[in-house]
Structure 1
Amino acid sequence: MRPERGPLGRIADELAARPSSYPVLPVLDEFQKIWSRMRTESQLRQSLQEAPENAGPLNSSALVHRSIAMMRDLSPGYLQHFVSYVDDLSSLEQLGHSGPAAPRDVPQAATIGKRPRAKKARTRGE
């Protein structure tokens, strides 16, 4: 016997039973591909402009610049997926930094239950 569904479960069941209200339009797929390609090209131009001129061979910016340039020449399809992936990661990182900050007055795990030691008064004879 199946247990009673809660309110959210009933709403989910109703939504799943409804037919999709948005029609499938192949034109939108083509538009999305074009937009993705344009965004990738824009990001590539931006990243290649910021390349350091006199960087050493192990400079991380120079290495990234060289690898993107090689990827663009050798496998443009992979580069488009790679840039999209990095863009998604960047968006997630920005979301993570925009969250609420932890309150400063919350005790840390190591200090819970511990009391600070009282300072002893020193006498002249010590």
Structure 2
Amino acid sequence: MEVITIESKAFKSLVDKIEILTDYILKRQVSDKNKEDIWLDSQEVADLLRISTRTLQRLRTENAISYHKLRGRCLYKLSEIEDKLNNRVIKSDPKTIDDFYKNYINLYSKKHSK
């Protein structure tokens, strides 16, 4: 077995680059899933956007976010939420959008692993 040693700074740089690649791949996976029109309920959207359900209700009232009602429940298309984030209809910064993707992937994988 061959052992390779590198400086900790170089190692940290390598780990950062791997994380960037991982994030890119995860975003691509999410964008592929968007084609399937994934639907989320109010609590899921609030959790993903890190806002309260009351704030989400206010966004609905102001017609800032589109939704559909089914049997008394408000449902949202993931692709439309993403579009609102990208068009800055919903206030966010790039970190919020990245967190949105990461949280969605975690939520989606937990939901379908049961």
TM range (shorter): 0.3 to 0.5
TM-score (norm 1): 0.35
TM-score, length of structure 2 as denominator length: 0.37
Q: Which has the higher helix share?
A: 2
More strand by share: 2
Structure of larger gyration radius? 1
